[in-house]
A and B are shown apart, each in its own frame.
Chain A
Amino acid sequence: MLELRLVQGSLLKKVLEAIKELVTDANFDCSATGFSLQAMDSSHVALVALLLRSEGFEHYRCDRNLSMGMNLGNVSKMLRCAGSDDIITIKADDGSDTVTFMFESPNQDKIADFEMKLMDIDSEHLGIPDAEYQAIVRMPSGEFARICKDLSSIGDTVIISVTKEGVKFSTAGDIGTANIVCRQNKTVDKPEEATVIEMQEPVSLTFALRYLNSFTKATPLSETVSISLSSDLPVVVEYKIADMGYVRYYLAPKIEE
């Protein structure tokens, strides 16, 4: 028996909007620790990892580990029927091949049940070892989304370089080139407006902007984003989900042959 009750149902709505463009079908894994998902995009260039810890749910009952295969587009269609202030409960009986999403309005005067058939998805799970990163940039998520959007109108790959000057985003295309430098800035009114750069050593990597732009669909989840770079690893773009967990995107770099 699975019954997960999330008072801040809007988080789940935003999570689906954040991942459904990158991944079509995926398994949601439920265990005592939480509700998670790991999936690659169809071209195996990017990977998304979601974790919603059990403590973040008002009620979290998961009698035994369960993996539920779903089409994320269909889940998104159902969750769009939930109000942004609704309480969302995910329910599944042991052995049943359906999952139910229940939406309760804040004053309990409207209760909706959306039931969906589960799918058999044999997804490949990748082991992601903890790593030390040569540079970690923390910046306003809206800022990062704006940079990725602006640069993709000029070119389709971005070189992200971190030096002691700051973090530079560069691209080039048929119409010309663009360079955006963000410097560390801690003197801001609100901490979420700060740009903080931790650099162990300078690093520069090249990535496809199309994937970074799909990662920024997670912007509504968090005021800030962290970008972790190492010359021999995929970039990790992380949006924390307040008090619950995170959505992490991993993107393999492009190299000069």
Chain B
Amino acid sequence: PASNLGLEDIIRKALMGNLEE
């Protein structure tokens, strides 16, 4: 789940717009 990603990873993923991955 997203919650154990690091802060930067969550930000990169959300910026790239592919949150569903």
Q: Are A and B co-members of a single complex?
A: no
